[in-house]
Structure 1
Amino acid sequence: MAVVLTVAALLFVALTVWAAEPEKIAVSDGWVRPTIGEGRATAAYFTVTNKGDVDDTLMAARTANAKSVELHQTTMTADGVMQMRPVEGGLPIPVGGTLKLSPGGMHVMVMGLDEALAAGGELAITLEFAKAGPVEIVLPVQASAAAGADGGDAHH
């Protein structure tokens, strides 16, 4: 019986220490574009910093407010045409590294929104990481990064 209690106490302490670890993933400078007219699609942008001790990968994103959410990469064709394509296999973030999702590059495409998004609103998104697991963020709806790129953290 004493052995069982000792093991239980050690597990409790280990779980308490694990739960108290600093966040391994930090999200900052986040924002989402307002939808246009009756549009039900938008793009979300933010910076992810891997503060953990292992490389990680942003695998997917989701929101309860839309039918579909995809990681996208914008590229320029040889003809000078911009194309958006879904990213396969996720977006890697090395230990101590950052991943910047911004207009004209990588971004989160949110499609089939329940309702239009207007400047001043918010959109909750859950980011899925291979190692860190789910990270919930709340992004302000604004027309550009200039209004919110002050180094502040996304709400998570």
Structure 2
Amino acid sequence: MSIKSNLLAAVALLTLTGAAWAGDSAAKITVTDPYARSSTMNSVSGAAFMMLRNDSGQDDRLIAVSSDIAERVELHTHAEDANGVMKMREVEDGFPVAAGESHALRRGGDHVMFLGLKAPMSDGDIIPLTLTFEKAGEVEIEIPVDLERKPEEGGMSHGSKSN
């Protein structure tokens, strides 16, 4: 990566490490520490991770996601099958975010899945993503692609997961 690319990526990361908010004071969702990745440059799928915080007085639920970077964008989780094998599956009813609680979208757990990527995910790219909540409505965020990040890095391993 060139110095200019590194500088642009650093500025984007600093800009995006802040929080994004949705809704009014009655239905406020905060999104922090977002990042996206694919396993290789030639991958046809990728994933996004972040922390969702519900600072409202009412329970809410992330019910849909959308982005123009892939043919399909879905909410996914990892679940153990009858043979003890972990498999990814779509979560059609979404992820609950209880009032006053956080819900982590992290590697090996709940996450946003990009299926049928229209272009490779390159380190430092910025991905637009719309999160739709039952009560808070739509939250539009921009997520940096970070192909070097390890699963335990960032705030993802420190948050609580509410179900």
Give the TM-score normalised by the residue count of structure 1.
Answer: 0.76
Q: Distance in 2 between matches of 1:25 and 1:71?
A: 17
Q: Distance in 2 between matches of 1:119 and 1:84?
A: 24
Correspondences of 1:71-150 after superposition (within 5 Å) = 71-143=75-147, 144=149, 149=154
**CA 1:129 to 1:75, structure 2 compared with 1: closer, same or farther past 3 Å?**
same
Instruction: Give the counterpart letter for 1:57 in structure 2.
Output: R
Q: Distance in 1 between matches of 2:75 and 2:121?
A: 19
Structure 2 residue aligned with 1:4 = none
- Asked if residue 42 in structure 1 is aligned to residue 46 in structure 2, the reply is yes
| Rg larger for | 1
Mapped contact 2:26–2:58 kept (Cα < 8 A): no
Q: Any gaps of 5 or more consecutive residues in structure 2? A: 1-22, 157-163
Give the TM-score normalised by the residue count of structure 2.
Answer: 0.73
Aligned sequence identity (%) = 36
Instruction: Give the counterpart letter for 1:51 in structure 2.
Output: D
Match of 1:60 among 61, 64, 75: 64
Structure 1 residue aligned with 2:35 = 31
Q: Any gaps of 5 or more consecutive residues in structure 1? A: 1-18, 152-156
SS at match of 1:117: coil
Mapped contact 1:35–1:116 kept (Cα < 8 A): no
**CA 1:141 to 1:78, structure 2 compared with 1: closer, same or farther past 3 Å?**
same
